[in-house]
Structure 1
Amino acid sequence: MQADTSFWDSLVFDGIDEVDVEAVMAAFGTVEVVVRGRVAGLHVRTARRFSDRVHDRFQPRLKDLPLVDQRFVIRLTVRRFICGSVDCRRRTFAEPFSRLAAPHARFTTRLNHALSE
């Protein structure tokens, strides 16, 4: 099932401006939403410069609150940017998704909040 991405963008990611919904798939009791970041690049604080050079991408799968008795999974495309400054201590930086999930998290912030109550 392909669904209207603007509908899912407003339903699931309301108030989270840092992601765009690319696709929605539903099969075998699981709804999977594929999202990516909107930023063009990152401001590297240690080097005091802006970087838009993409070094790599990875796709963690984040579990979220169920929707109508179906499991809900977010497949998030995270880009790693590389800093071009030679004196930068950190060479690569992953784009942050602070409103969606903590770094290295397997669950969304919404699910973590619901589980902690």
Structure 2
Amino acid sequence: MCRRTTSAPHLPLACGGTGSVDDLVTRHLVDRFARCAVQGGLRRLLPHLSEVGIDSIQRCTDGVALRTLSRTPSVPCPHCGRSSTRVHGRYERRLVDAPLGGLPIVITLLIRRFNCLAADCPAVTFAEQIPGLTRPHARYTPVMRG
């Protein structure tokens, strides 16, 4: 157990430069988080991310940033229900997630826009929604929404 002091000594970091003991602890937590993701334990740790693939995990100045993308090849249209595989475009969407180990988490999702293939459907394009994670216009994960 590490006791926090008011004047933390600066120690050399593996990536060069110096940092406080708090920085080392934060790096350790991010490393454990990344190992958990690689070993498949992320589904138990963050079950609401089970439908997405994790592209990268990075430590930022204010927490942890996850870059994710959907793994499903087709998505049903929210208006007519017909499944579509034709991607119209992509955009990034940021979601704030609950802190893990005291570190704030920001999830950056690569969202795809699809063309609806039904001629009689009023939706020409629609954005995919990740079950259990996103809903239209939401900026917080279900864990943060409560």
**For the superposition of Structure 1 and Structure 2, which TM-score range results when normalised by the shorter chain?**
0.7 to 0.9
The reply on whether 1:87 has 2:120 as its aligned counterpart is yes
Q: Which has the larger radius of gyration?
A: 2
2:53 corresponds in structure 1 to: 20
Map Cα deviations across residues 37-92 of structure 1 (whole Å, 9 max, x no partner).
11111233755643101001111110011122222100011111102333221011
Cα distance in 2 for residues equivalent to 1:48 and 1:67: 36
Matched, 1:112 2:145: yes
- How far has the Cα of 1:15 moved from its partner? 5.7
Helix, strand or coil: the match of 2:47? coil
Alignment partner of 1:64 is 2:133: no
Q: TM-score, normalised by structure 2?
A: 0.65
Task: Kindly indicate which of the two structures has a greater share of residues assigned to strand.
Answer: 1
Structure 2: any 5+ residue segments left out of the alignment?
A: 1-29
Task: Say which SS state the counterpart of residue 55 (structure 1) adopts.
Answer: strand
Alignment of 1:26-105 (within 5 A): 26-44=59-77, 49-105=82-138
Higher relative contact order (CA 8 A, sep 6+): 1
Identical amino acids, percent of aligned pairs = 31
Aligned residues: 113
Q: One-letter code of the match for 2:120?
A: D
* Alpha carbons 1:102, 1:109 under 8 Å: kept: no
Unaligned regions of 5+ residues in structure 1, if any?
none
RMSD: 2.4
Amino acid in structure 1 at the alignment position of 2:106: V
